[in-house]
Amino acid sequence: MTLHVDSHRLRTDFEALSGFGATDDGGLERTTFSEAHLAARAWFHERGRAAGLETRVDSAGNHSVVLPARDVGARTLMLGSHLDSVRRAGRYDGALGVVCALEVLRCVGDVGLDLPVALEAVDFTDEEGTLAGCLGSLAVAGALDEEILAAPRGGRELLVSELARMGLTEEGMIAARRDPGTLLGYLELHIEQGPVLERAGIDVGIVTGIIGAASFRVVFEGEARHAGTTPMDARRDAAVGAAAFVLGVRETVIRDFPGCVATVGDVVTEPGSYNVVPGTARLRLECRSLDCAEQDALEQALTERAHAEAAAFGLEVEIERLGRSEPSPTDERMCAALEEAADALGLSHLRLPSGAGHDAQSLAAITPSAMVFVPSVGGISHDPSEHTRWEDCLNGANVLLNATVALARSAG
């Protein structure tokens, strides 16, 4: 037996949700606590109540719709994602997972299944990092520490003022921690945000883990000199050293760290005039691996490469780590449940790591967690042109529904 979501209802809701913060280019912008974001969260609760479900907001601002179990002491299986977005975002990232989680609860309620666990569809606060990144899910996992709150991605000042504006407090954020003993697990549906499923022609992806990431600020220092009067052999050109490093990062990863990625995503030279030899080049580097030891080795190899290229061109280099998240493996039993659901639905599936961060990496630290990916057309995400074919959305929702029911029943 397989269950199927209500495609029309799900699609109508997804279209309605896409209207909050919609931009002319077909995308949307719903940064954390923006007017559009708050409206989307309110809409999510309204849709839950319209389906006869309970709604809750915890002290981290996480918004939940809940289908309680008959037994008030029953554990909870959480399904979730996030309704906030990056700037110039697409419609699918996060939002699809929340609306599918809501639809799963409605389907279970519609059919009148008497499950031995409560189901909770969660919209986590600030996954994308307008303020800090995975703020709500880290709070739930009890992983919000002083380090994160002291130097959040969007700056301390913004965090403090935005929490205050929302009537939230740092004490409240920390108090949002959930007792792991009350949880059965966590499932998240998300778009892949990469090209792997589409290229392989596979219906759904089963996520083996969320890879770790470290980010660095790298500054090469040479000497700013007149571009006309300084012979090539008398230059200490910071842009040249930075260029050698950009190529070196790519070469190192491809040659020595297959499966990893590293990116110099931000390069700026100073003073930035075409007729001055650059004295300074500022780069931001990021590298990701699914394995802690490999992540260590990768970071060390790239750091050594920066020093080697600086030395080769007579430059100084400073490297500062901006942040690091550890790799988070998913739960084998929950992955198997997702695969069994896909098999029962006749859908092809593939195990793959998630190169992007997700709320599931917070939850994985305290409860069995897993993710199902649906294909991203062209591998595009964080862009208004982000797109997933509707039948792929539907396939993912059906996998989520059937795995949820199977896992919930097995908890009885």
Q: Which stretch binds a second copy (CB under 8 A): 51-59, 112-120, 250-258, 392-400?
A: 250-258
Q: Which of 143, 158, 175, 380 binds a second copy (CB under 8 A)?
A: 380
DSSP H helices, 316-376, are 332-344, 359-363
Does 244 sit near a second copy (CB under 8 A)? yes
Does 126 sit near a second copy (CB under 8 A)? no
The amino acid occupying position 59 is S
Does 312 sit near a second copy (CB under 8 A)? no
Rounded distance between C-alpha atoms, residue 296 and residue 318, angstroms? 19
Rounded distance between C-alpha atoms, residue 79 and residue 73, angstroms? 19
Closest distance to a second copy from the beta carbon of 159 (Å)? 19
**Among the listed residues 72, 21, 188, 58, the one whose alpha carbon sits nearest the alpha carbon of residue 121:** 188
Run of H or E including 17: helix 7-18
Q: Which stretch binds a second copy (CB under 8 A): 68-76, 141-149, 220-228, 331-339?
A: 220-228
Judging by DSSP bridges, how do beta strands 328-329 and 204-210 pair with one another? antiparallel
> Do 173 and 150 form a contact (C-beta atoms < 8 A)?
no
Q: In terms of C-beta density within 10 A (0-12 exposed, 13-18 middle, 19 or more buried), how is residue 170 classed?
A: middle
Does 213 sit near a second copy (CB under 8 A)? yes
Does 215 sit near a second copy (CB under 8 A)? yes
Closest distance to a second copy from the beta carbon of 253 (Å)? 6
Closest distance to a second copy from the beta carbon of 308 (Å)? 15
Rounded distance between C-alpha atoms, residue 395 and residue 375, angstroms? 10
Does 314 sit near a second copy (CB under 8 A)? no
**Close Cβ partners of 412 (under 8 Å, ≥ 6 residues apart):** 115, 116, 117
Rounded distance between C-alpha atoms, residue 220 and residue 33, angstroms? 37
Nearer to a second copy, 329 or 355 (CB): 355
Does 379 sit near a second copy (CB under 8 A)? yes
Does 192 sit near a second copy (CB under 8 A)? yes
Does 277 sit near a second copy (CB under 8 A)? yes
Q: Which of 1, 150, 232, 293 binds a second copy (CB under 8 A)?
A: 232
Interface with a second copy (CB under 8 A): 192-196, 199, 211, 213, 215, 224-234, 237, 239-240, 242-247, 250, 253-254, 261-269, 272-278, 281, 284-286, 288, 322, 354-357, 379-383
